[in-house]
A and B are shown apart, each in its own frame.
Chain A
Amino acid sequence: MQFLGFLVNGISLGSVYAIIALGYTMVYGIAKMLNFAHGDVIMVGGYVISTCMTSMGMNPLLSVLVGMVACTILGITVERVAYKPLREAPSLAVLITAIGVSYLLQNAALLIFGSATKSFNSVVGVKPITLFDGALTITGEALVTIVVGVVVMIGLTLFVNRTKMGHAMLAVSEDKGAAQLMGIDVNATISLTFAIGSGLAAVAGALLCSSYPSLSPTTGAMPGIKAFVAAVFGGIGSIPGAMLGGILLGIIENLSKAYISTQLSDAIVFGVLIVVLLVKPTGLLGKKISEKV
C-alpha cells in the first residue's frame, strides 16, 4: 500500500515534468534549439501567481490565468529579442544565448523578489481522498496535477493533429523552407510554439509550487533540467514521448527517493539520461533521423 502511495506521488510529479517537457519538445522540434530558459519561465510563472494571490488577493484560478498570460508574453519576447537574430547561427551560439537568458531571468527574480525562499499557497482547492480504509491518502494536489496532465496532453495532441495551426507547426518542424513556400508564416508559427510552451510552463509552475510549497529564484532550474531529461527519455520532438518520459521519470525519482536514497535521487535521474542516450539515443518514441551531408 505504501508502494502505491509512492507510485501515485511519482505519477503526479511525473505529470509536472511531462507538462514542462512538452514545452521543451515542441520548441526543440520547431526551432531545433534547446531552450535552457524554459525552466526559469516556470519560476517566473510561480512568482506571478504567488504575487497575484497574496498581494492582490485574487482568486487562485484567475491568478493562474494571469500567470499564463505573463509567461506567454515573456516567452514570445525572449524568442523575438534573443533567439530570432540567431536563427541561422551555429547551435553553440544559440545554446550559450539560452543559458544567458536563463541566468538573466534567475538574477532578475533574485533582485526583484529577493533570495529568501517564499512559501506558496496551494492553488488547488480539492480535498485529499482516502482509499482502503485510510491506508492510502492521495492529496488533492496530486490528483489535480494528474488530471491536468492528461487534459493538457489530449488537448495538445488534438491541437497539433486537427487544427490548421497545428499542421503548420508540424510542417515547420519538418522543413522550414518548404513550409514557407507553402505559404506558412514561419515566424508566427515559431512564436506560437514559444507561446504555448511558456503558457504550459506557467501551469506547471502552479502545480509544482502547490505540491512543493516553496518558491525561490532557482525553483525552476532543477525541474527544467529534469524535464529536458524526460523529453530526451521519451524521444525529443515527440509529444506522446514527452508525456511518457515525464511520467516514467517522476516515478523513477520518487521510488528511488523512497527505497534507495533521498540524497542520491538526482544522481539516479541523471544516470537514466546517460543510459538512455547510450542505449537508445533517439529515446523511447523518437524517430531516427539520418544525417545528410
Chain B
Amino acid sequence: MKNMKVFANWKKLDKNFREKTVNYGIVLVAFLVIQILSATGSLKNSISGQLVPICTYVVMAISLNLVVGFLGELSLGHAGFMSLGAFSGTLFWVLNCETLPRPVALIAAFLIGGVVAGIFGFIIGIPVLRLRGDYLAIVTLAFGEIIKTVLNALYLGLDSNGFHLSMKDTMSLGMEADGKVLINGAIGITGISKASSFVIGIVLVLITLFVVMNLVDSRAGRAIKSIRDNRIAAESIGIPITKYKMMAFITSAVLAGMAGVLYALNYSTLVAKKFDYNTSILVLVFVVLGGMGNIRGSIIAATVLTILPELLRSVADYRMLVYAILLIAMMIFTQSPKAIAWRAVMVEKIKARRPGKGKMKQGEEG
C-alpha cells in the first residue's frame, strides 16, 4: 500500500526531474554494485581493468551527445579535445604530483585539462561553427587530425633554463645536461604516476551528468534544441545561433578534455596516436546506438559496448564489423521514411489486437 503511494507521487513529479533522478540513480547503483563486487572479490580482472575506460567513454559519449544529439551537428574530432585535455592535464600532473599535495594536484590537473580543451574548443569553434552539416563534420575531422599530427611531432623538455620546445627531435631541444624530456614526440609522455580510480571516474560522470542535464533543461538548452529542430525558425525569432552553438561546443570540449585526463592518468604512458579518428568514431557509435539526444542511452551504450568485447574475446575481431552493420541498420530503421511508415503500420496492428488499450491510446492522441 505504501509502495503504491510512493509510486503515485513519483508519477506526479515533474518529468524532467524524474529523468534526472533515474540517470543519477543508474550511475550510483552501478557504482555500489561494483564496489560490493570488488569488496567480495568476485569481480573479474578483465572487468576491473575496464572500469576507468568505461567512465571515460561514458563522459565522452554524454559530451558528444550534447553536440550531435542536442545541437544536431556532427563532430568527428571529439578525440582531439580528449587528446588536448589528456596532454595538458598529464603534463601538469607529471610536473606537480610530487611538489603539491596529491588531491590538489589531481583536481588542478583535471581543471587544466578541461580549460585547455575548452580554450581550443573556442578557437576551433570560431571557424567551424560558421559551417553546417557535411562541411562542419569534415572540418572537425580535419582539426582532430591536425591536433593528433602536431602532438605526435611535439617535443618538450625542461631544464634549469626553463621549457624548451621543438617540432623536430629531442636533440634540437638544446637542453642542458640536467634537462628532462617531458613530451617525447611519438613516444609521448612516459613515467606517469597513475592516479585515476573508479571513484574519480564516477565523480566525473556525475559532474558531466549534472552539467549536461541542467544545460539541456535550461533556457540555453531549449535554444540549442531549437537550432537543431529548425535553424532558420530559431534565427528568425531572435535566438543568437552562434552564441548557443558555441556554448554547446565549448561545454562538450571541456568535458572531453577532462575525460582525457581521466583516461591518461590511468596508464603510465600517453601517446597522441591513441586519440585518432577511430576513437572519435567509436564515441559516435556509442552516441548513435544509445540514441541521439538521449543521455541515458549514451551511458548504457558506452558501458555495454566497452564491456562486451572484453567478455566476448573470442569474437573480438568481429566487433567493429558488427558495430558498422549496427550503425547502418540503426540509421535505416530509425530515419528512413519507409521504415518509419512500416513501424507505424506494425504499431497499428499490435493495437488492433488489443482493442481496449489501443482505442484509449488513439483517443489520447486525437
Which A residues contact B (CB, under 8 angstroms)? Answer: 28, 33-34, 82, 85-86, 88-97, 99-101, 103-104, 106-108, 110-111, 221, 225, 228-229, 232, 261, 263-264, 266-267, 270-271, 273-274, 277-278, 281, 293
Contacts and interface: CB of A to CB of B under 8 A. Distances in A.
A266 B148 CA distance: 10
Contact of B232 (A95, A267, A293): A293
23 contacts: A28-B134, A85-B332, A85-B336, A86-B331, A88-B336, A89-B337, A91-B133, A93-B335, A95-B74, A96-B288, A97-B327, A104-B321, A110-B317, A229-B142, A232-B135, A232-B138, A261-B153, A264-B153, A270-B142, A270-B146, A274-B127, A274-B143, A277-B135
B143 A89 contact: no
A225 B148 CA distance: 15
Contacts of B68: 92
Interface size class on chain B is 35 or more
Given A110-B317, A278-B127, 5 more contacts: A86-B336, A89-B336, A104-B328, A106-B320, A221-B277
B324 A100 contact: yes
A273 B337 contact: no
A263 B146 contact: no
Given A86-B336, A108-B321, A264 B149 contact: yes
B212 interface: no
A97 B331 contact: yes
A86 B281 CA distance: 20
A232 B139 CA distance: 11
Given A92-B74, A96-B74, A103 B134 contact: no
B152 interface: yes
Of residues B68, B143, B146, B292, which shows the largest number of chain A Cβ atoms within 10 Å of its Cβ? B146
B146 A103 contact: no
B30 interface: no
B149 A267 contact: yes
B327 A100 contact: yes
Interface of B: 68, 72, 74, 127, 130-131, 133-135, 137-139, 141-143, 145-146, 149-150, 152-153, 167-168, 232, 277, 281, 284, 288, 292, 317-318, 320-321, 323-325, 327-328, 331-332, 334-339
A192 B220 CA distance: 46
B181 to A, nearest CB: 17
Contact of A274 (B142, B338, B339): B142
B134 A86 contact: no
A103 B332 contact: no
B335 A89 contact: yes
A232 B72 CA distance: 22
Nearest to A28: B134
Given A86-B332, A97-B331, A271-B146, A261 B139 contact: no
Contacts of A99: 281, 284, 327
Contacts of A95: 74, 133-134, 137
B142 A273 contact: yes
A103 B135 contact: no
A293 B234 CA distance: 12
A191 B69 CA distance: 31
